Structure 1
């Protein structure tokens, strides 16, 4: 399945969205590596190979046929500190293929004993470029420690990624924050097992529209998820969508600079939300956050 969204004057990026079945903990790494190699050899409709390969939430941490306690124990036992052989293998795979690799999310442990749901990003040179810890675990079912910071990743000459995970999409403050940090595309990795995937598709489009950013919402297929992965333009138009809950691969080529153009010109040439407040406007209190909208800072981070 392929799709294209380009505008003139910018370097595009080809993204492979792997709506693939979760792999159980302990499965030989070679199985995943061969899958990524196969994806990296695919091409979009115009013959371009993927530069960024993305998998769903907890793709490498499957716990089939386990109850809640067994599931949590297995994840904790397999958790990585992202400095171990597991992380080195992921980085080596990205380096071997010369791609940006987001292998789903992983269980990350730290010395204090906390376990996070973390999205790592590996660069084509094999380095671990960024990590993002899920701020909003789906409580009470997910017992990960919440993250406390936001993350963006620059792909030189292409654009900026903003990282979010699954339930984060239900909190508009999180998407707004990474958009304000200059994200051209919000990557939202998902493993939704419940019927509210229909609502998440609405949220993907809404978050794209109100932040004037691409949104990639990548879900797992059945039985781990409801599928229906989607990539949305900064004006809310689906670029490519995987219909159904079967394993599938979507490849789309997008020009991330389109997000910046939409912010400058307005959605459909009309709405310029990031230009709403001027330097002479009064500060607006936001009691919920014990903060404010400051007109002097109401614009995405400069590039």
Structure 2
């Protein structure tokens, strides 16, 4: 009832000047090999590759390729999702926001081709990335009303939280997504630097401390460091890719998240049930905030 089959498409970036046709072909070939996939996820900035250009020309090309969310590019991506009847995260794109800023924005389309969620990267990799930071966390239930006929049984499906690359280095980000009801964190990545090994540790750690699934999708070599990974809510690695282009396929189950949080990780640690009636609030000076014991447990995913 609560399961969904996720496909992780570890791919090399596509050139930013004309990515849609090649992307559509890759989606089609991936689903031809793995027709069971219901949610297909690509890496960060997958449609915005500039590696074919001289290094000095890349920043300007990246910004020139940015579009608004109401654009031909976004419409075309929605059409690809609709043509296959799947949930589709094509990675992120450069977005020109309504106020003229340049954002790194993750997209999620439903099987009807509608753009159901857009998330602006909150923690750009500074000083190397030029994007303006986003300020809003985004979670999206993969609800039944848009599940394509015949692809999944009727039932409540997982809720995903959107996350981009360096966001995973800030535990506050993954914790907030979990509190907002995310059963699965979709962390799309474009790691070309030598710290992918550390990111694998963070993927497991974020899954353990929040007791949910973490899907970390990196771009393939030779541009990226690969090693995409899917981690379960107790921190066990369910699938891990190598360096080159590869597709991982794993079923995620929101009932498994509920079970782990109820019985505890390895039958012991129930972190979301830490507080008891009468426990005092805990000040958090770094955030000018606090932990309120009465408001600690995650929200129901479908609560507005």
Name the count of aligned residue pairs.
289
Q: Does 1:249 align with 2:227?
A: no
Q: Which of 13, 16, 25 is the equivalent residue of 2:4?
A: 13
Q: Is the 8 A contact 2:213 2:252 kept in 1?
A: no
TM-score between both structures, scaled by the size of structure 2: 0.92
1:299 counterpart residue number: 297
Q: Is the 8 A contact 1:25 1:60 kept in 2?
A: yes
* Secondary structure class of the residue paired with 2:283: strand
Q: Distance in 1 between matches of 2:126 and 2:281?
A: 34
Q: How far apart are residue 178 of structure 1 and its match?
A: 0.2
Q: Does 1:110 align with 2:97?
A: yes
2:74 counterpart residue number: 87
1:51 counterpart residue number: 38
Q: Distance in 2 between matches of 1:68 and 1:38?
A: 31
2:84 counterpart residue number: 97
CA spacing shift, 1:186–1:28, aligned 2, 3 Å: closer
Q: Which of 58, 61, 64 is the equivalent residue of 1:71?
A: 58
2:31 counterpart residue number: 40
Gaps of 5+ in 1: 1-9
User: What does the per-residue CA deviation read over 1:45-87, in whole Å, with 9 as the maximum and x for residues that have no partner?
Assistant: xxx6100010000000000144565222112111111111111
CA spacing shift, 1:179–1:28, aligned 2, 3 Å: closer
CA spacing shift, 1:297–1:149, aligned 2, 3 Å: same
1:119 counterpart residue number: 106
2:258 counterpart residue number: 260
RMSD: 1.2
TM-score between both structures, scaled by the size of structure 1: 0.93
Q: Is the 8 A contact 2:20 2:77 kept in 1?
A: no
* Secondary structure class of the residue paired with 1:280: coil
Q: Distance in 2 between matches of 1:284 and 1:218?
A: 35
Q: Is the 8 A contact 1:42 1:50 kept in 2?
A: no
Q: Is the 8 A contact 2:93 2:106 kept in 1?
A: yes
Worse overlay, 179-188 or 255-264: 255-264
CA spacing shift, 1:112–1:299, aligned 2, 3 Å: same
* Secondary structure class of the residue paired with 1:41: helix
Q: Distance in 2 between matches of 1:67 and 1:270?
A: 54
Gaps of 5+ in 2: 144-155
User: What does the per-residue CA deviation read over 1:239-267, in whole Å, with 9 as the maximum and x for residues that have no partner?
Assistant: 1111x211111111221221121111110
Q: Does 1:179 align with 2:170?
A: no
Q: Distance in 1 between matches of 2:119 and 2:140?
A: 10
Worse overlay, 202-211 or 59-68: 59-68
CA spacing shift, 1:49–1:82, aligned 2, 3 Å: same
Runs of 4+ in 1 over 4 A off after TM superposition: none
Q: Distance in 1 between matches of 2:238 and 2:281?
A: 37
Q: Distance in 2 between matches of 1:72 and 1:280?
A: 54
Q: Map 1:150-189 to 2 at 5 A.
A: 150-156=137-143, 157-189=156-188
